[in-house]
Structure 1
Amino acid sequence: MTWRGSPTGGDPHRFGTEAFYASLGRAFVAMCAVVPVLFLIEALDVGLDANLAGTAGIIPHRIQGLDGVLFSPFLHADFNHLYSNSIPLILLGTFVLAAGTRRFLWSTLVIILVSGLGVWFTGSPNSVVVGASGVIFGYLGILLTRGIVERSWWNFGVVLLVGLLYGWQLIGILPTDERVSWQGHLFGLLGGIAAAIVFRRRRVGLPAPEQTGSPTVPLG
C-alpha cells in the first residue's frame, strides 16, 4: 500500500517519488529515440544527394525560405554538425520532457517558431540556416526560467546542473563572425523563456479546512 505523502508513487513532479524517476526515465528513452531519426534524415539526405539543407533550410528575408522555420530543426549541414547537437539535445530535452508531454510539445513548437522567425527576420539573406541548436538553446531557456517561475527546489537543481554543463554556451547568443547562427541561439533562448512562463505549472492552493460544529452567529 502506498500512503499519501510517502516517497513512492505519487506526484511525478515531486523529486524522490517513484513517479518522478519513472517520468525522467521515460523522457530519457524518448529523447534517445529522437536522435536516430535525425541521423536517418541526414543519412537519406546524403545517400540520395537530396540537398535538403539547401532547399528546406531557413533563407532569411525570402518567402521561399520561410518554410524552413518548421523544417530546419530536423536538418543539419553534415554529420559532425548533428553529432555536436545530439548530446545536449538528449540531456536538456530529457529534463524538459519529464515535466509533461503536452507542455514539452507546446514549448517545442513555441521555440521552433520564435527561433525560426527570428532568424528569418534578422539573419543574412545570403545564408541558409539549419540545425537543432535553436531548440537546444530554447530548452536551456526553459530550464533556466522554470526554477524561478515555478519556485521548485528540483528545478533550481536542474538550473545549477545545466549552468555548470552548458552555461558557457550562452556566449553563442552573441554576434560572431563564425558560421554559427547566433540569431537562432538568441531567439531560441527567448522562445524557451517565454514557453517556461506561458506553460508554467500552476501551484494548487491547499483546500480550505472543513468547518465542524454549529456556525458562529455574529452578535449585533
Structure 2
Amino acid sequence: MKPIRLFTPILIKVSFVVSILWCIKSVEVLFNVDLGFLGVVPRELTGLVGILTAPLIHGSYSHLFSNTLPLLLLSTGLWYGYPKSRIRVLTVVWLISGIGVWLFARGATHIGASGLTHGLFFFLLVVSMFRRDKRSVVLMMIAFFMYGSMVLTIFPREPHISFEYHFFGALAGIVSACLWHNRDPKMQEKQYRWEQVEEDDPIIGDQWRE
C-alpha cells in the first residue's frame, strides 16, 4: 500500500503540470493565436528561445494528445523512482534535446514535448540496466510495455515529425542515466522468513548441514 500512497499524489501533481499544456493550446485555438514562433528554428538566433519554450507548444490537439499520456506515465515514473536525480534528468533532457535540434536538425520549426517523452523513456530504460533493483526494473518494464516503440522513432519516418527531437531527447536520457544512476538509493530489499538463516535444530544440532 505504501507505493500506492506515494504514487498517487505524484500522479496528481504531474497531471496538473501536463494540464498547463492543454491550457496553452486552448488559448492558442480560442484566441486564434499562433505560438509557432516559440519553437526551435535551427541555426537562427530567433529560434534559440525555442530551446526553453518548444516543449510547451503543439501543432494540434491530436499532437498534444499523443504526448499527454506518455508525459503522464513517464514523468510519474521518474518522480516516483528517482527523487534525488529527477530535477537534473528533466533539466538535461529539456535543454540538451533543444540544443541538439537547434544545432543539427533540418530547417523547420520544431515544437512539441516528444523530446521530453523520449528522454524520460530512455532514461528509465538505461538506468534500470545500471541499477538492476526491483523498482527500477518494474518502472522500466511498464515504460517499455507501453512505449517500447520509441526505440524506433528516433530514426526518420515521416517528414512532418521531428525525429531530431526524439533522437536528441533519447541521447540526453541515456547521458543522464550514465551520470546519475547511483544518485538515488536503492529500495531496501524485504527479507522473508524462509530466506533467513535458520538456527540449528535443538534435537539434531547441526547435523542437517552435513
Are positions 1:57 and 2:39 aligned together? yes
Alignment of 1:162-201 (within 5 A): 162-201=143-182
Match of 1:157 in 2: 138
Task: Pick the aligned partner of 1:83 from 61, 65, 87.
Answer: 65
Deviates more, 1:56-65 or 1:161-170: 161-170
Match of 2:128 in 1: 147
**How far apart, CA to CA, are the structure 2 residues paired with 1:167 and 1:197?**
20
Check conservation: 1:173, 1:186, Cα contact below 8 A.
Answer: yes
AA paired with 1:164? F
**How far apart, CA to CA, are the structure 2 residues paired with 1:131 and 1:146?**
25
Residue 100 of structure 1: CA displacement?
4.5
Are positions 1:123 and 2:105 aligned together? yes
SS of corresponding position for 1:173: coil
AA paired with 1:32? S
Gaps of 5+ in 2: 187-210
Match of 2:48 in 1: 66
Match of 1:31 in 2: 14
Residue 187 of structure 1: CA displacement?
0.7
AA paired with 2:11? F
SS of corresponding position for 1:58: coil
**How far apart, CA to CA, are the structure 2 residues paired with 1:66 and 1:93?**
25
Match of 1:97 in 2: 79
Structure 1 residues 55 and 102, CA, compared in 2 at 3 Å: closer, same or farther? farther
AA paired with 2:52? L
Residue 107 of structure 1: CA displacement?
1.1
**Superposition RMSD on alpha carbons, in Å?**
1.7
**After superposition, what is the alpha-carbon deviation per residue over 1:67-113, rounded to whole angstroms, capped at 9, x for unaligned?**
10110011101111101111111011110011345522221110011
SS of corresponding position for 1:124: coil
SS of corresponding position for 2:41: coil
Residue 37 of structure 1: CA displacement?
0.7
SS of corresponding position for 1:172: coil
**How far apart, CA to CA, are the structure 2 residues paired with 1:164 and 1:84?**
16
Are positions 1:44 and 2:44 aligned together? no
Residue 194 of structure 1: CA displacement?
1.4
AA paired with 2:154? I
**How far apart, CA to CA, are the structure 1 residues paired with 2:124 and 2:67?**
17
**After superposition, what is the alpha-carbon deviation per residue over 1:91-142, rounded to whole angstroms, capped at 9, x for unaligned?**
11110011345522221110011111111111112x1011000000011011
Structure 1 residues 81 and 177, CA, compared in 2 at 3 Å: closer, same or farther? closer
Match of 1:207 in 2: none
Check conservation: 1:77, 1:130, Cα contact below 8 A.
Answer: yes
**How far apart, CA to CA, are the structure 2 residues paired with 1:102 and 1:148?**
18
